[in-house]
Amino acid sequence: MKKLLVFFLFATPLFAHHGRGATYDMKKQVTLKGVITEVSWRNPHVAIYMDVKDPDGKVLNWAFENSNVSTLARQGYNRNTLRAGQEITAVVNPSAQGTPRGLVVKVILADGKVVMSRESGANPVD
């Protein structure tokens, strides 16, 4: 795998926080409806894994990343905000590589409540 050896000496854009380290298609949004399989509530990357059924009924395990543990804590979130077995809808910017990985836009719980929303500033992934 070739690495891109390109130097960007101007100021980094917003999304190079602790290094999101992943490439996403920021122009696209994908809505994932499914069941959480794993909550990895750890610094510096909180990752949520979920099983998503596609139209053919095939199940694919997706994962989306969020802000870090400390920032989420200041918004009042903790490792029990989302739990394995919980049904959620996650809106994400998908990986540009076409793999089932994404950057969170927001999470909608079964009762319609929106949590960990990046678009509202509560989950600032930069």
Partner 1 sequence: MRARIIAALLLAGVFACAPQVTNAQQKFDPHDFSGIWLRKGGDRAISNKPPALTAEGLARMMKNIPVRRRNGETPFAETPEKSNDPAFACNPKGFPRMLVDTAHDWHEVIQLPDRILQLWQEERRPREIWIDGRAVPSGENLDNLGPSWYGHSVGHWEGNTLVVQTVGLDDRAWIDVFGYPKSDVARVEERYRRADADTLEVQLTLFDPRYYTAPWVSDTKTFKREAREKVTFFGWYGLFSGLGELICAPMNANGVNKRGG
Partner 2 sequence: MFAFLLVFFASSAVFAQGKPAFDPHDLSGFWIASGAERHALGGKAPSLTPEGVAAMKGRVPDSVNRLPGNAPWYQCNPMGFPRLVLDNEPIEFIMTKDRVIELFQWEWTLRELWLDGRQLPSGDNLENLGPAWYGHSVAQWQGDMLVVNTVGLDERAWLDNQGNPKSFYARIEERYRRVDPDTIEFQLTLDDPKFYTTPWVGAKKTYKRMPIKAVTNSGWKGLYSGNTDAICAPMNEVDDYNKRFRDPAAFGNKK
Closer Cβ to partner 2, 88 or 92, answer by number? 92
Evaluate whether 107 touches 92 at the Cβ level (below 8 Å).
Answer: no
Closest separation in Å from C-beta 11 to partner 2: 6
Q: Residue count at the site for partner 1 (CB under 8 A)? A: 4
Name which of 20 and 79 has its Cβ closer to partner 1. Answer: 79
Distance CA 74, CA 70 (A): 7
> Which residue in 24, 41, 62, 64 binds partner 1 (CB under 8 A)?
41
Number of neighbouring beta carbons within 10 Å of residue 124: 17
Task: Kindly state whether residue 12 participates in binding partner 2, applying the rule CB under 8 A.
Answer: yes
Among 30, 96, 109, 114, indicate the residue that binds partner 2 (CB under 8 A).
96
Please classify residue 32 by burial: count the beta carbons closer than 10 Å to its beta carbon, then call 0-12 exposed, 13-18 middle and 19+ buried: buried
Residue 70 near partner 1 by CB under 8 A: no
At 87, list the tokens. 């049904």
Query: What H or E segment, with its residue span, contains residue 70?
Result: helix 69-74
What residues make contact with partner 2 under the rule CB under 8 A?
Answer: 1, 3-9, 11-13, 15-24, 40, 42-45, 47, 63, 65, 68-71, 73-74, 78-79, 95-102, 126
